[in-house]
Structure 1
Amino acid sequence: MMSRMPPQSIQAEASVLGSMIIHSPAIDVVVQITQAEHFYRPAHQTIYQVLVDMSQDNKPVDLVTLRDELERSKQLEAVGGVEYIVALVEGVPTAANVEYYANIVRDKALLRQLIVVGTQIVQEAFETHEEAGDVLDQAERAVFEIASSHIADQAHSMEELLQHTIETLQQTEGQLITGLASGYQKLDELTSGFQRGDMIVLGARPSMGKTSFLLNVAEYMAVVDQKPVAFFSLEMSKEQVTQRLLASYARFDLRRMRRGMISAEDWTRIQLAAGDLSPAPLFIDDTALLTVLQLRAKARRLKAAHDIQAVFVDYLQLMNYQGRANSRQEQITEISRGIKALARELGVPVILAAQLNRGPADRPSQRPRMSDLRESGSIEQDADVVTLLHNEDYYHRGDPDWIDKNVHELIVAKQRNGPTDTVYLRFLNNITRFESAAPDTYAT
């Protein structure tokens, strides 16, 4: 297979270089499409890089200056001499089609990269002792990197990192929210929004409203902020999730909706809500027993197709694991690490719901702690932010002396780059919607 001529277009490469020489503004067009390594001929790679360097140094670019630069760097003869440079110029009457030629060069380079990766995949499949799923994940990652035309460097200079950091600080100067807003003001002020590459864990015991809170935040991001987000529901079907979203957004009783108890006036409200929700870039996947490998594959495709800005997973303990880990705790550890790696790979926050253990019977308070994360493994260590959802009223149902305040506590128990605190929320159970609670509702 590898004895065949790899995909390339020497004519397109020559046309790109000739256009860059005769019309220096074409360089700004070309550098957005191609890189030196996209050229098949080593001589073309050299000429391209010299032209780009000259442009970056604000040097005039033409046939004479290019020849002088190649002579100075002792590369003129290696690229074919003055005669070849002249031939490049004479072969291009106009630079008008440079973008078209540059796309050909890039596409041929991508095909060559696919051949290399494909050969590696075949070799790995023949020789590996790993699980087939692991090989598949590695193959998909390699192809995804080519498809996204972005292969990140493993190391960056301090100069480069500081420049990027300063630019980011300048862009966010005066902004309280530098990440993705949740829609809950105090939470956003506390976290500055959900940050790219972070894993945010929402821990709660059953019946505390984990799914409702995740859906409320996903709805805010997609509908209000128009950010594309993915919601992976392992517990409820996509139809159930959609019904919840519709009831919550329309502020319509979910039980009445399920029973079909909808008046003509109600239909108007529901249809208006559906009109707002329909164009929202919210993508719902209800694959049951989802594995980390499947989650990665689906999220990568959504990132490539829709540039999703956040991933929601409901919830951790329902995820399946097909590796060699023995105990469930080891499995959860591997799942947690895989999700954290996904957040970093895609550069988006992953908001992950997790079930909590019930606290010991002799604990004086049922208020949750991070140690209550069921089969927690390394969740606490992997997470950048850990929030715990708590409703004290739940534990006093039937107590005649207890005054029900309908206040949920969202305890920010861990924040790697910020303070911890508690955010108070009110839960409207009939429409499955959380709202910020006024201070006097939780005053002691």
Structure 2
Amino acid sequence: MSTNAYERLLTALRAAGCAVDDHGEHGSASTPGHSLQDRGTVFRRSSDGVLLWVHNGDRDDVLEHLGLTMADLYDTASTTYPYSDGRTVVRFYDERGRKRFTQSGNKTGRALFNIENLATDPEQPVWVVEGEKDVRALATLGAFAVSPPQGANTDAERWDWSPLHGRAVLVVRDMDDVGLAHALRVAAVLGEHAGVVIVEPAIGKDAADHIAAGRGLDDFTVVRPTAPEGVRRFDEVIADWVKWLHAPASQRRVYPTPWEPLNEVLAGGLHPGRTYVFAGRPGSGKTISVLNLVQHIAETQRAPTLMCSLEMPELEMASRLVASGAGAHYGQITKRALDETQMRRVQIYLDSNRPTETELFLIDHSALTIENIRSIAEQMKATVGLEILAIDHIALVKPSRSGLPRREVVGHASWQCSVMAKELNIAVILASQLNRGPEQQNAPPKPSDLKETGDLEQNADVVALLHHPMFENLPTGDVEIIVGKNRTGPAPSIVTLPWRGHMARIG
């Protein structure tokens, strides 16, 4: 049989009854077992043998049918690849048909294979591939390529890439995870020294397969390096955004507050993934506002809601919730001395389905760290569900470790709430106190008046400040919700509502 791999392949194809079109340096043939008109087997001559690709079958099966092996695709039993610095690589197949390599000579050399043939023209692009066979395969299309010794099996930093500085470099990745990692390392090593683009074959596992299959230099596909886990390109996010934009009303997880003017400011209400601070001075109604919020959302929208109170017992929370829900006098409920009218209001409320259908959960514990609260929220999410978490109030959260200044404790807690809102995809409501300074001057509060730490303002998506305006030194009977920070709409904005403190209700 001929020692020329190209002729050897042609002879075997014809002997098997295949139709062969030979163009001297490349050709095609019908695949064994297929129509004589299909020409699914293609081949191309290279300097060390022949490149073979089968479009409509398995290459190893075709070779077996032809009575050939992969070793027969080389002109000689072993192929020698000399390096300019004295390293010599020999490629051969063992008795079991497995591809093997040996190295001799200057094994510590740092030169790239074929670098001695680098063109003096700096405008000529350089292809970087994983193996010597790929270098010679690209040469059949007139391209100049180099390869590091041992391909992807060694660190790219070991080799001398300086001759490629200032060049346009195309790194061809092999189609496996190791191949991509190697291409990325080569690109990183060349860094700012060359214009690097990573490409991949249009077909097959490497550059030799791509060329054997009849593809050209322009057919390599540019690779977009994969971003770290969790990082997505904008064009990938857009697809989800379009679904979000056109989602039916039943799937739009926006939770209106009890106050329509505030909903207008907050783009419809509370949004999952965001943190809302409702702040006020003592007695201004910050707890009432938060209780009104959670009660309304849990009752009217059946959204599982957790009210976590660090200072108010659950029976006191229940008293305020009943007063608000029934429109009853909170003072009489507190004294447990309701007149006939108030008792009737309470009884009507209790006899209705509203309390039993309200998806509101309460916890009163004065010694919770923010990590404790996160754990409870995660358990809620996994069991009964969780859409809204409210904490009253954030300054009472216990330190995660002893010795921390109060400012750091509150700052850490507010940051963890922001993280929790995003990771659990829930809306988090925080009650907070305001400093007393502006109160003494009868000045409306602003976000910088938040007590303890500026981190609370920084980490919040919305800061709503409660203010009771005065007229001629007398309360007007209204409460202003001053939205001083608002990532979902305009700020500052002022929503004025009736104050119904005797019923533990705003509006």
Deviation at 1:166, TM superposition (A): 0.7
Alignment: residue pair count: 281
Tell me what 1:355 maps to. 433
1:340 and 2:418 are equivalent in the alignment: yes
CA distance in 2 between partners of 1:324 and 1:247 (Å): 39
Which of 174, 182, 205 is residue 257 of structure 2 equivalent to?
A: 182
- Paired residues of 1:370 and 1:380 also in contact (CA < 8 A): yes
Q: CA deviation at 1:272?
A: 2.6
Partners of 2:331 and 2:263 lie apart in 1 by 31
Deviations 1:366-394 (A, max 9, x none): 2111111111241111111111111134x
- Which residue matches 2:408? 330
Counterpart contact for 2:371–2:400, Cα < 8 Å: no
Deviations along 1:283-304, one digit per CA (max 9) or x if unpaired, are: 0011113211110011111111
**In structure 2, C-alpha distance between the alignment counterparts of 1:352 and 1:71, rounded to whole Å:** 64
* Residue correspondence of structure 1 range 286-301 to structure 2 within 5 A: 286-301=364-379
Task: Say if 2:384 is the partner of 1:384.
Answer: no
SS of the residue corresponding to residue 236 of structure 1 reads: coil
Corresponding residue of 1:207: 283
- Structure 1 residues 71 and 301, CA gap change in structure 2 (3 angstroms): farther
Q: Higher relative contact order by CA 8 Å / sep ≥ 6: 1 or 2?
A: 1
- Measured after TM superposition, the shift of residue 271 of structure 1 is 2.6
Q: Output one character per residue of 1:163-188: Cα deviation in whole Å (capped at 9) or x when no partner.
A: 11111111268x9x862111210110
C-alpha distance in structure 2 between counterparts of 1:197 and 1:434, whole Å = 25
CA deviation digits over 1:401-442, x for unaligned, max 9?
Answer: 43431111100000124211111111112111000xxxxxxx
Deviation at 1:325, TM superposition (A): 6.2
- Cα deviations across residues 37-86 of structure 1 (Å, max 9, x unaligned)? xxxxxxxxxxxxxxxxxxxxxxxxxxxxxxxxx98799xxxxxxxxxxxx
Correspondences of 1:150-189 after superposition (within 5 Å):
154-171=230-247, 179-189=254-264
Instruction: Output the CA distance in 2 between the equivalents of 1:73 and 1:265.
Output: 91
Change (3 A) 1:205 1:265: closer
2: CA distance between counterparts of 1:172 and 1:232? Answer: 32
Distance in 1, matches of 2:502 and 2:441, equals 31
Alignment partner of 1:277: what SS?
Answer: helix
CA shift in 2, pair 1:323/1:265, >3 Å: same
Q: Offset of 1:349 from its aligned partner?
A: 0.8
Question: How does 1:198-277 map onto structure 2 within 5 Å?
Answer: 198-263=274-339, 266-274=342-350, 275=352, 276-277=354-355
Q: Measure, in 2, the Cα distance between the counterparts of 1:339 and 1:434.
A: 25
Q: Deviation of residue 158 (structure 1)?
A: 3.1
Q: After TM superposition, give the deviation of residue 338 of structure 1 in Å.
A: 1.0
Listed as ranges, the gaps of 5+ residues in structure 1 are: 1-69, 75-151, 436-444
Aligned match of 2:504: 432
Match runs of 1:95-174 below 5 Å: 154-171=230-247
- Alpha-carbon separation, structure 1, partners of 2:59 and 2:488: 48
Cα distance in 2 between the residues matched to 1:358 and 1:72 = 80
Return the alpha-carbon distance in structure 2 between the equivalents of residues 232 and 250 of structure 1. Answer: 22
Whether the 8 Å CA contact 1:330–1:377 is kept in 2: the answer is no
- 1:415–1:73 Cα change, 3 Å: farther
Q: Cα 1:427–1:167, aligned 2, differ >3 Å: closer, same or farther?
A: same
CA distance in 1, matches of 2:382, 2:420: 14
Q: Report how far residue 314 of structure 1 moved.
A: 0.5
Deviations 1:310-332 (A, max 9, x none): 11111011111122663211111
- RMSD, matched Cα: 2.7
Q: CA deviation at 1:266?
A: 4.1
Partner SS state of residue 289, structure 2: helix
Per residue, is there more helix in 1 or in 2? 1
Conserved 8 A contact 2:448-2:454: no
The 1:265–1:378 alpha-carbon spacing in structure 2 relative to 1, beyond 3 Å, is: closer
Q: Could you say if the C-alpha distance between residues 410 and 264 of structure 1 is closer, same or farther in structure 2, counting changes exceeding 3 Å?
A: closer
Say if 1:256 and 1:73 are closer, same or farther in 2 by CA, change over 3 A: farther
CA distance in 2, matches of 1:231, 1:191: 21
CA distance 1:268–1:365, shift in 2 (3 Å): closer
Alignment pair present for 1:419 and 2:490: yes
Q: Which has the higher strand share?
A: 2
**Does residue 361 of structure 2 align to residue 283 of structure 1?**
yes
CA shift digits 1:121-173 (9 cap, x unpaired): xxxxxxxxxxxxxxxxxxxxxxxxxxxxxxx9512343431111111111268
Q: Which runs of 4+ in 1 moved over 6 A?
A: 70-74
Residue 346 of structure 1 and its aligned partner are, at CA, apart by 0.8
Structure number, greater radius of gyration: 2
Matched, 1:191 2:263: no
2:395 aligned with 1:317, yes or no? yes
Taking the aligned partners of 1:404 and 1:233, their CA distance within structure 2 comes to 29
Give distance in 2, aligned partners of 1:265 and 1:73: 91
Residues 172, 178 of structure 1: 8 Å contact kept: no
Relative distance call for 1:156 and 1:324 in structure 2 (3 A) is farther
Distance 2:58 2:344 in 1: 76
Give the percent of matched residue pairs that are identical in Structure 1 and Structure 2: 29
Write the distance in 2 (CA, Å) between the matches of 1:273 and 1:352: 28
Q: Distance in 1 between matches of 2:59 and 2:459?
A: 49
Q: Secondary structure at the match of 1:306?
A: coil
Aligned residue for 2:246, secondary structure, equals helix
Q: Secondary structure at the match of 2:445?
A: coil
- TM-score w.r.t. the length of structure 1 is 0.59
* SS across alignment from 1:194: coil
Output the amino acid matched with 1:206: P
User: Relative to 1, partners in 2 of residues 1:72 and 1:415: Cα closer, same or farther, differing over 3 Å?
Assistant: farther
Distance 1:71 1:296, change over 3 A: farther
